[in-house]
Every structure is written in structure tokens, then in C-alpha cells.
Amino acid sequence: MKTFDLINALFQLGGALAAWKNVQHLWRDRQVRGIFWPLTIYYAIWGLWNLAFFSHLAQWWSLASGTMLVSGNIVWSSIALHHHLKKTRQRRLIRIITMDTTQIAQFITVSVTNQDELEKKA
């Protein structure tokens, strides 16, 4: 059983090296492009399950390398989510800044109306 643990650990270690390389590139580039980033979040969650699973099976080498892999995926997902939210906020701000006075009045009216509807529902 130890052989299978070591083989699995090597695969996990390869994934961990790739995940941390992705973290390095994302940190440098500060943008997420050409990637469906929710998939990495999915693999991070699956990796958390794997940690419990490897522990239960007493596969300690897989647990150690899996910890490196899941931590890389979690760090990458956190940075990607941060940049995604930052970009979304910037787009909204640019849209508001480039509005003329009529559009600003409409924006405020819609916002107030939406807020009133939310308060009525609550």
C-alpha cells in the first residue's frame, strides 16, 4: 500500500508545483485571462476532501503533497477572486464617471427605487 501512496504523492507534488507556479504568474500579472477560474476553486474544495480522505487511509505521503497542492489552489483562487472583484468595481466606477447628468439622475432614481422595493420585501 505504501507504493501506491508514494506514486499518488508524486502526482500530487507535480500538481502542487504547477499550482504554485500559477500563483507566481497571477501575482506578477495581476489579472486572470484565458482561464475559467471557478474550476480552480472546485479543485481546491476537492483537495480539502482529499486531505481528510488520505488521513483516513493513513496515506501520509499523499497527505503531505496534497496539503501543498490544496494550499496552492486556495491561494491562487483567493488572488483570482480579489482581482475579479477589483476589476468589476473598476468597471462600475468608470461607467458612473463617464455618465452625463441625465444618466446620473436615472441611475440614482433606479437605485432608490430598487432600494425601496427591497425594503418593502423585508
Q: Is 119 a residue whose pLDDT tops 80? A: no
For the chain, what is the mean pLDDT? Answer: 85
- Cα–Cα nearest to 43, from 13, 25, 19: 19
Residue 85 confidence (pLDDT) = 85
Residue 101 confidence (pLDDT) = 67
4 or 89, greater pLDDT: 4
Per residue in 88-109, pLDDT (tens digit) is: 877 777 776 776 667 666 767 7
Q: Distance of alpha carbon 23 from its chain centroid, rounded?
A: 11
Mean pLDDT of 24-29: 92
Mean pLDDT of 36-60: 92
Q: Is 18 a residue whose pLDDT tops 70? A: yes
Contacts of 86-91 with C-beta under 8 Å, sequence gap 24+, read 87/31
Every domain of the chain and the residues it spans: 2-121
3-state SS of the chain? Answer: CHHHHHHHHHHHHHHHHHHHHHHHHHHHHCCCCCCCCHHHHHHHHHHHHHHHHHHHCCCHHHHHHHHHHHHHHHHHHHHHHHHHHHHHHHHHHHHHHCCCHHHHHHHHHHHHHHHHHHHHHC
Q: Is 4 a residue whose pLDDT tops 80? A: yes
Identity of residue 108: I
Residue 73 confidence (pLDDT) = 94
